[in-house]
């Protein structure tokens, strides 16, 4: 869910504005919707709820802090198209990657490349499954660079924690990204019933919201693992300078 409508008619976002970085309120400037049956868009003049139970809502919101705009595309039950809690976000552009204040230049190249590829899948190609696979690759490359050893990603993360390279909370965040990504890392499994019905494995059920959560957890992990430690080192340097100055 991208936005929640307030009684005042304004909207509040679940993430900071990608342009100014503030937790701002918004107002809607453009809204359009088309009916949908299955995966097929239909013309809006077809007014048969039982035939077209869903609507694809295209809406542009404007940040009241910086006036920049965000495009949100959602799939909503037709009778609840104004209730954003019942809608599924399909696409959000631009995506608020700056909400953690993560400086991508601080990341190793291979981590940054996989993260950015995942972001392209999420924001340009509308491919949450591709995004989640790349987020997992970014996580594992980061874990290996930090010195995690083990036969698989689970054990590599645990090894970092045992070596006190990451904190317990950071370890838990990493496992959340791993849990989403593991469905794409394993071979495809199809289940076929006696009636011939084919059911996909969990990877086929991953959604845009799943990719969003995986991204948010990954950004928190990367900031804690690469940026926070550097900030602590800068603080230690400054404290040392102050202590030496006092001694002199």
What confidence tens digit (pLDDT) does each residue in 4-14 have? Answer: 665 566 787 76
CATH code of the domain covering residue 140: 1.20.120.330
Q: Select from 67, 94, 121 the last residue of a domain.
A: 94
Average pLDDT of the segment spanning 130-143: 92
Taking residues 183-203, what's their average pLDDT? 60
**Which residue, 59, 94, 129, sits at the end of a domain?**
94
E strands of 38-167, at which residues?
40-42, 54-63, 69-77, 88-93
The larger pLDDT score, comparing residue 101 to residue 130, is at 130
User: Does 204 share its domain with 121?
Assistant: yes
Last residue of a domain, one of 94, 116, 131: 94
Q: Indicate whether 43 and 58 sit together in one domain.
A: yes
Does the pLDDT at position 156 exceed 90? yes
Whether residue 179 sits in one domain with residue 123? yes
pLDDT tier for residue 148 given thresholds of 50, 70 and 90 = very high
- Chain-centroid distance of CA 114 in Å reads 14
Domain-located, residue 179: yes
The residue ranking higher by pLDDT, 51 or 150, is 150
Q: DSSP 3-state assignment of 13?
A: strand
d(CA 71, CA 29): 10
DSSP 123-143: HTS--HHHHHHHHHHHHHHHH
If asked whether residues 90 and 28 sit together in one domain, one would say yes
Query: For 32-39, what is the mean pLDDT?
Result: 64
Instruction: Count the domains in the chain.
Output: 2
Average pLDDT estimate for 113-124: 84
Shared domain check, 169 and 220: yes
Residue 229: domain span: 99-234
Query: What integer pLDDT is reported at residue 84 of this predicted model?
Result: 62
**Same domain for 111 and 30?**
no
Q: Does residue 68 lie in a domain region?
A: yes
pLDDT for res 52: 59
């Amino acid at each position: 869910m991208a936005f929640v409508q307030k009684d005042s008619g304004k909207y509040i976002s679940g993430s900071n504005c990608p342009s100014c970085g503030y937790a701002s309120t918004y107002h809607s400037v453009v809204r359009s919707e088309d009916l949908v049956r299955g995966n097929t868009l239909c013309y809006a003049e077809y007014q048969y709820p039982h035939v077209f139970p869903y609507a694809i809502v295209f809406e542009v919101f404007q940040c009241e802090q910086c006036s920049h705009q965000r495009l949100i595309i959602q799939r909503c039950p037709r009778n609840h198209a104004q209730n954003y809690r019942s809608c599924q976000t399909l696409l959000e552009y631009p995506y608020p990657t700056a909400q953690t204040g993560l400086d991508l230049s601080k990341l190793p190249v291979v981590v940054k490349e996989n993260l950015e590829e995942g972001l392209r899948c999420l924001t340009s190609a509308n491919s949450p499954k591709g995004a989640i696979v790349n987020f997992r690759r970014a996580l594992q490359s980061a874990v290996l660079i930090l010195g995690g050893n083990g036969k698989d990603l689970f054990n590599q993360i645990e090894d970092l924690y045992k070596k006190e390279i990451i904190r317990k909370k950071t370890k838990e965040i990493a496992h959340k990204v791993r849990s989403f990504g593991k469905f794409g890392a394993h071979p495809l499994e199809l289940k076929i019933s006696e009636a011939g019905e084919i059911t996909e494995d969990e990877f086929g059920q991953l959604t845009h919201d799943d990719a969003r959560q995986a991204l948010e957890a990954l950004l928190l992990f990367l900031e804690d693992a690469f940026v926070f430690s550097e900030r602590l080192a800068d603080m230690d340097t400054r404290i040392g300078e102050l202590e030496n100055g006092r001694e002199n």
